[in-house]
Each structure stands twice: as C-alpha cells, then as structure tokens.
Amino acid sequence: MKDLTITAIIKVYQYDELNEGDRSLIKTAMEATARSYSPYSHFSVGAAALLGNGTVVTGTNQENAAYPSGLCAERTTLFYANSQYPDQSVVTLAIAARTEKDFIDHPIPPCGACRQVILETEKRYKQPIRILLYGKECIYEVKSIGDLLPLSFDASAMED
C-alpha cells in the first residue's frame, strides 16, 4: 500500500489586492445576486464569466419548489456562455453569494455538479478556467477546477 497525496494551491487575497479587472468581474457577480430567484433558501448566488473575447456574461441560482429542478449560478452562467458564444473560452469565473442580510464573510466553493460542468468547459476549450470566489473577509483564487476536483471524471475515463 502507498499513500497518494493531492495538494491544491489556492491564493487568498484581500479585495484591494486584486487588479481592476478582477474587482470589476467580482462586482458584476455581486450585482448578479440581485437577480437570483431563491425564495426557498434565501441564499442568492451570482456568477460572472469573462470570455476570451472580453465579453462578460452572468448567471444566478434559480430555485424551484421541486428542488432538483433548480440550477446553480455557475451552471446558468457557463451554459449561457457556451450556448451564446460557443467559440469563446471562459477565462475567469467569479462567484459571489449573499443571504438576505449581506454578502457572506467567507468564499463558498462550487457544488459538485458545478465543478463537473466547469471541468467539462475546461476540457471543451482545452484551457483552465481561473476561479475567483468572493467573501467579505477574503477572495480565493483557484487556477483551475482541478484544484477543487482533483480526482475528476472526464471523457478520458471512457477511453480504452
């Protein structure tokens, strides 16, 4: 038997340490939370994706009384980007969340389903997606979804 050690490097920033482009993308994700439809959880999530051509698209979580029928902000954003701009890669994805009172203190990571969709989007465009996770106390920068999904399942697992 042997151990397999998996490490991830996640940079932690204060908001004012980010460059103007990153602050703008996070601000766009924060603004998107106002368009969330979250009447059940009262937890609003917004995402903003910077595409290779400089376009920024947003999405929000969309809840449904039949909970599995809802969709996360990350997936609404990526699915919109991929359907409207199929020839443009996603360079950076910023995610922000808030309760009814305020934005959360600590960054939240994408759920497992969103991680899988981010992975597929990286594979589709053959490049990593940089992820910025906003919290009032700090921002996490993740260089690729592989850091959050180290033993991932993709199409290569189905090859001979």
Catalytic positions are: 74
Average per-residue pLDDT for the chain: 95
Max CA separation in the chain (angstroms): 52
Output the pTM of the full model.
0.94
**119 contacts: CB under 8 Å, gap ≥ 6:** 145, 146, 149, 152, 154
Is 63 annotated for ligand binding?
Answer: yes
What is the pLDDT confidence band of residue 14, given thresholds at 50, 70 and 90? very high
pLDDT of residue 73: 98
Residue 155 banded pLDDT, cuts 50, 70, 90 = confident
Instruction: Please indicate, yes or no, if residue 157 is contained in any of the structural domains.
Output: no
Q: Check residue 152 and give its pLDDT.
A: 83
CATH number at residue 22: 3.40.140.10
In the predicted model, is pLDDT for residue 137 greater than 90? yes
74 beta partners = none
- 37-82: per-residue pLDDT in tens? 999 999 999 999 999 999 999 999 999 999 889 999 999 999 999 9
Residue 159 lies in a domain: no
Q: Is residue 92 part of a domain?
A: yes
The whole-number pLDDT of residue 160 equals 65
Ligand-binding annotation for 67, yes or no, is yes
Q: Please tell me what DSSP assigns to residue 77.
A: H
pLDDT tens, 103-116? Answer: 999 999 999 999 99
Residue 47 three-state SS: strand
Task: Flag whether 72 is marked binding.
Answer: yes
Is 158 a domain residue? no
Tell me the residue range of the domain where 113 lies. Answer: 9-140
Q: Which amino acid is at 147?
A: D
In the chain, the percentage of residues whose pLDDT exceeds 90 is 91
Q: Is 120 marked within a binding site? A: no
**Domain total in the chain:** 1
pLDDT score for 50: 98
